[in-house]
Structure 1
């Protein structure tokens, strides 16, 4: 019988068509991915604790609800302490913006005047003026992006509220979902699919649990350090520095820039203290915290991580930099697996 008349050929064609339709549907509803991504993060964070409680005799649903209650209590406590403090700091920042703007404009005018009075050739003057204007535009763009990000957070409140609901149902039926997924895989592929799923799961688990733990520790240490040295907006800047830890290598620099800039507007001595504090915390993070918590969690060479970060940032901005490392690690797993299969006897 010819290959195009075999039932297997039509089965494969049907699967290809089905997968194409699913991918196209996911592309159409890509704006709805956020609650599912947040739900997966919650599952990776909470499911190990649910498993431990189950081993001690708790029902799975009861264990999930108890954990949710604990999370609600902790988050509410943090919000009751943190939100008023953050609101006060934001109000102070809004009131201080005109003062800081005048200071920055004064610095820019100073720099421009010095270059105007210098004996540099006209061509160099023009290049310097263009670079100063470029820096001003980039600064305005950064401020605009920050405001857009804050507005986007407010616009996605429903997605944030939906994520715990999705996470609850995923954790509740996780074992059934796993069994159903395995049952859909052809028997001859089961071993390979289980291996790949295990490796990818390890990457996601290490990245989500490990990096969020590092984010929390660095954020707390940075906030306390900034409060100790008397920096304004210490809590807010500490949170920014902590979240920046999600971006390897470049994150600490990105997180330190706002703190150093604000400190410079107050005094050079305060800026020096901020730089020293950030340096000490980063040394602690690099030599003690991350090696203990993360280890070599993604199995990538530092050069590969840097290339992935640059590519992700160039293509998709901050979101691309956040997702670059785990996606690159998954790509490494798939390429290594495929290469091993192609070279196996």
Structure 2
């Protein structure tokens, strides 16, 4: 019998059409992905604790609800302490912006005046002026991006509220979902699919649990250090430094720039203290915190990580840099698996 008359051919064709329709549907509803992504993150963060509580005799649903109650208490406490402090710092920042703007303009004018009084060739002088104006535009663009991000967060409050509900049902029926997914895999593919799923799950677990733990530790340490040395807006700058830890290699530099810039507007000696504090915390993070929590989790060469970060940043900006490492690690797993199968 010819291959186009076999039932298997029509089955594969049907599956291909079905997968195409599903992918097209997912593309149409891509704006709804955020609560599911947040729910998956919550599952990765909370499910290990639920599993331990279940092993000690707690029913799974009760363990999830108890854990949710604990998380609500902690988050409420942080909001009660952190939100007023953040609001006060934002109000102070808004009041201080004109002063800081005058200081920056004065520094720029002094630099331009020094160039005007120097013997720099006109062509080089023009290039420097263009770079200064470019830097000013870039700073204004960064401010607009931050404001757009804050507005986007406010506009996604429903998604943030929906994520815990989705995460509850995912954790409640997680084992059933796993068994159902395995049952849908053809028997001859089961071993390979389970192997790939385990490897990819390890990457996601390491990135979500490990990196977010590092973010929290570095953010808290940095905020405390900035408070102790008397830096204004220490909490906000500490949060920025902590979140920047999600970006390997370049993250510490990205997180330190706002703090150093703010310190320079207060005093040069304070800027030196900020640099020292960031250096000490980064040494702790690089030599103690990350090795203990992350280890060599993603299995990528440092050069591959840097290339992935540069490519992600070039294509998708900060979001691309945040996702570059886990996506590169997953790509490595898939390519290695395909290479082994082809040999």
Give the TM bin, normalised by the shorter chain. over 0.9
Return the offset for 1:322: 0.7
What are the Cα deviations for residues 138-175 of structure 1, in whole angstroms up to 9, with x where unaligned?
Answer: 11111111111111111111111111011001001111
1:100-111 maps to which residues of 2 (within 5 A)? Answer: 100-111=100-111
Which residue of structure 2 aligns with residue 196 of structure 1?
196
The alignment of Structure 1 onto Structure 2 pairs a total of residues equal to 343
1:270 is aligned to 2:278: no
Cα distance in 1 for partners of 2:332, 2:16 equals: 25
Cα distance in 2 for partners of 1:248, 1:60 equals: 36
Cα distance in 1 for partners of 2:33, 2:317 equals: 18
Cα distance in 2 for partners of 1:179, 1:320 equals: 33
Cα distance in 2 for partners of 1:90, 1:22 equals: 45
Which residue of structure 1 aligns with residue 171 of structure 2?
171
Which residue of structure 1 aligns with residue 30 of structure 2?
30
Which residue of structure 1 aligns with residue 134 of structure 2?
134
Cα distance in 1 for partners of 2:270, 2:98 equals: 21
Cα distance in 1 for partners of 2:323, 2:13 equals: 32
RMSD: 0.7
Cα distance in 2 for partners of 1:42, 1:25 equals: 25
Which residue of structure 1 aligns with residue 119 of structure 2?
119
Which residue of structure 2 aligns with residue 64 of structure 1?
64
Cα distance in 1 for partners of 2:181, 2:281 equals: 44
Return the offset for 1:31: 1.4
Cα distance in 1 for partners of 2:159, 2:110 equals: 47
Return the offset for 1:109: 1.0
Which residue of structure 1 aligns with residue 323 of structure 2?
323
Return the offset for 1:23: 1.1
Cα distance in 1 for partners of 2:79, 2:165 equals: 20
What are the Cα deviations for residues 273-295 of structure 1, in whole angstroms up to 9, with x where unaligned?
Answer: 00000000001100000001000
1:82 is aligned to 2:85: no
Return the offset for 1:39: 0.5
TM-score by length of structure 1 reads 0.98
Which residue of structure 2 aligns with residue 226 of structure 1?
226
Cα distance in 1 for partners of 2:31, 2:314 equals: 21
What are the Cα deviations for residues 17-67 of structure 1, in whole angstroms up to 9, with x where unaligned?
Answer: 111111111111111111111100100000011111111111111110000
1:150 is aligned to 2:159: no
Cα distance in 2 for partners of 1:328, 1:321 equals: 11
Where in structure 1 are there 5+ consecutive unaligned residues?
none
Where in structure 2 are there 5+ consecutive unaligned residues?
none
Which residue of structure 2 aligns with residue 214 of structure 1?
214
Determine helix, strand or coil for the equivalent of 1:269.
Answer: helix
Cα distance in 1 for partners of 2:327, 2:13 equals: 28
TM-score by length of structure 2 reads 0.99
Misfit runs of 4+, over 4 Å: none
Cα distance in 1 for partners of 2:248, 2:32 equals: 27
1:177-192 maps to which residues of 2 (within 5 A)? Answer: 177-192=177-192
1:312 is aligned to 2:312: yes
Return the offset for 1:335: 0.4
Cα distance in 2 for partners of 1:121, 1:210 equals: 53
Cα distance in 2 for partners of 1:308, 1:204 equals: 17
Cα distance in 1 for partners of 2:323, 2:30 equals: 16
